[in-house]
A and B are shown apart, each in its own frame.
Chain A
Amino acid sequence: MYTFSSKLKTFSIVLMVLGIIGIGIGFMSVPNKEEVKEMIENAHDDHHGKATAHAHTTHHEATPSSSHDTHKTEVKHETNEHDAHIEHVLHQQENKPWSAFYVACIFFMLLTVGVLAFYAIQQAAQAGWSPILFRVMEGITGYLLPGSIIFFIVLLLSGFHMNHLFVWMDESVVAKDHLLQGKSGYLNVPFFLIRAAIFLAGWNIYRYVSRKNSLAQDEANDITNYKKNFKWAAGFLVFFIVSESIMSWDWIMSVDPHWYSTLFGWYVFASFFVSGITTIALITLYLKSKGLLEYVNTSHIHDLAKFMFGISIFWTYLWFSQFMLIWYSDIPEEVTYFVFRIENYKLPFFGMLVMNFVFPLLILINTDFKRLSWIVVMAGIVILCGHYIDFYNMIMPATVGDQWYIGWSELGSIAFFLGLFIFVVFTTLTKASLVAKGNPLMEESKHFHY
């Protein structure tokens, strides 16, 4: 049995408290209309019109061409256009703490879902090496329930117009926008919330049942619970791949409701799947370093590191496929997505490529390195930060536009969810033996050697 070390518990609580303070400061420091006005006028003095032109390319209302027209007339300082611009920047500023919270929230929740998918794959594939890590994975997926509750509350708040994260939820915008009207059969608040509820419920039910069967298997004399888990895993994976795809359209792609990409679901999947595997590796190494995972050897770590390496490459493949197809054809309605990101998010956009691809590629290609804890931990931290930035790049440009920076809201949200994640995960780990001793493949897993 694992006991939650008091140091780590204090650490997680401190993170949560600091996070709440940061989130609070973020919400308090949203500028009001007058401050925004002042801000814009200062920016105009500095580099006339340049920054505002970018802001207008993501203008939520109307079509891109008309927003360029707005810009031209706006330079002449016509009062009503100027007001519209102030209104726009104000909305972006108001969105900032919400988006920061949303990005951290969805990142940690989907990371858990990535672990759940990995767990189900290991069960369904009857992998011989991984059963020794099942309790670690079950511990991580313990975060799924609290994570998805908080996430669903955020979606509910958006649905009740507490924020402007999803522009298609604003009826006054939809009334002026033909494209959004055309999509309103799918993108409407009740249907959106029902879909979200079904997906979150489905994942949580699988998590609950598989955990229950896994614990029951420890005490059992036969392997009926194991067989049940096998069938549940297979069923879950089918449900997962469908729900994951739709989830990515709903929760991530729909912040840019004028834009669409067909491989987006896979891309999002690869991002949180590799984050999930990395988290398994990091928590395994932590527990191992405390001497709690007797049977975990460097071959298990080596296998996890291989997955981190392989899925990082897979993520890059999807990132590049999506980027290159859109860059190559250069169709205006699709390419604005990347044009805006490259113009206003150059460092995060290309920085994440270095963190998620180049770094793991060069570090984790070496077999000996994949067995060294410190290398895996270092690569893991870089990969996790990189994929946070990946989610940041997917959400922020649509909600705050060029008004982004990493400040109190972002760091506070990360700290809060990281603290909560550590607290919940390690509490779940204390609830059961760290070795799933009833698993019929356990003996093989204990002696796994590569």
Chain B
Amino acid sequence: MSNKVIHAIYNDDDVLMDAVKQTRAAHHHIEEVYTPFPVHGLDKAMGLAPTRIAIASFLYGLVGLSVAVSMMRFIMIVDWPQDIGGKPSFSFIDNMPAFVPIMFEMTVFFAAHLMVITFYMRSKLWPFKKAENPDVRTTDDHFLMEVGVHGNEDDLISFFKSTGAVEVKVIEKH
């Protein structure tokens, strides 16, 4: 009883958006929504918290900048301050313009790659990962809303029928 879920399937994103709003208004907990493409505004309708990946990326960028600065300061200024073509290797700031291209690229490199890896980890994506797709049609042209069954099952089914679902199934989830 406790791990039963309802799969309400829709074939239009506008209908889905309305259904999500109605479901939220009726205080049914939406477990998950599967869509073949990003539906604009769906996260807001579902009440999902905004992503913090941009903040993470900014911090990764700062890490990249620090790595670049400390690396070049050590190599070019501290460890072996050679005279290379008359460039002033006396202090970091003297020779800084020459380091900026690398500082910039390292900042972008760290910000971009670490953000992507963060995204993979947070959304649990990796090669050979088993696809979590409840219905193959959701990758093509159908939208699926998964709602946990608490209380009267028949009432829930008729509720989702009324929201314009083309198909409502009750699934035993393992």
Name A's B-contacting residues (CB within 8 A).
320, 323-324, 327-328, 330, 365, 367
Contact = CB atoms under 8 A, between A and B. Distances in A.
A367 B100 CA distance: 26
B127 interface: no
Interface in B8-64: 54, 58
A156 to B, nearest CB: 40
Interface of B: 54, 58, 86, 97-98, 100
B100 A320 contact: yes
Contacts of B100: 320, 324
Contacts of B54: 367
A323 B97 contact: yes
Nearest to B87: A328
Main secondary structure of the interface of A (DSSP, over half): helix
A330 B86 contact: yes
A367 B54 CA distance: 10
A328 B86 contact: no
Contacts of A324: 97-98, 100
B58 A328 contact: no
Given A324-B97, A324-B100, A328-B98, A365 B58 contact: yes
Contacts of B97: 320, 323-324, 327-328
A307 B4 CA distance: 50
Which of B97, B98, B100 gathers most chain A CB within 10 Å?
Answer: B97
Nearest to B58: A365
12 contacts: A320-B97, A320-B100, A323-B97, A324-B97, A324-B98, A324-B100, A327-B97, A328-B97, A328-B98, A330-B86, A365-B58, A367-B54
Nearest to A362: B58
Nearest to A326: B97
A327 B96 CA distance: 11
A355 B98 CA distance: 22
Nearest to A325: B97
Contacts of A330: 86
A426 B157 CA distance: 62
Contacts of A327: 97
B85 to A, nearest CB: 9
A330 B87 CA distance: 10
A328 B98 CA distance: 7
Given A328-B98, A365-B58, 5 more contacts: A320-B97, A327-B97, A328-B97, A330-B86, A367-B54
Contacts of A365: 58
Contacts of B58: 365
B26 to A, nearest CB: 27
B94 to A, nearest CB: 11
A326 to B, nearest CB: 10
A328 B86 CA distance: 10
A365 to B, nearest CB: 7
B52 to A, nearest CB: 12
A208 to B, nearest CB: 41
B63 to A, nearest CB: 16
A336 B39 CA distance: 57
B50 to A, nearest CB: 9
B38 to A, nearest CB: 15
Contacts of A320: 97, 100
A324 B99 CA distance: 10
A343 B100 CA distance: 22
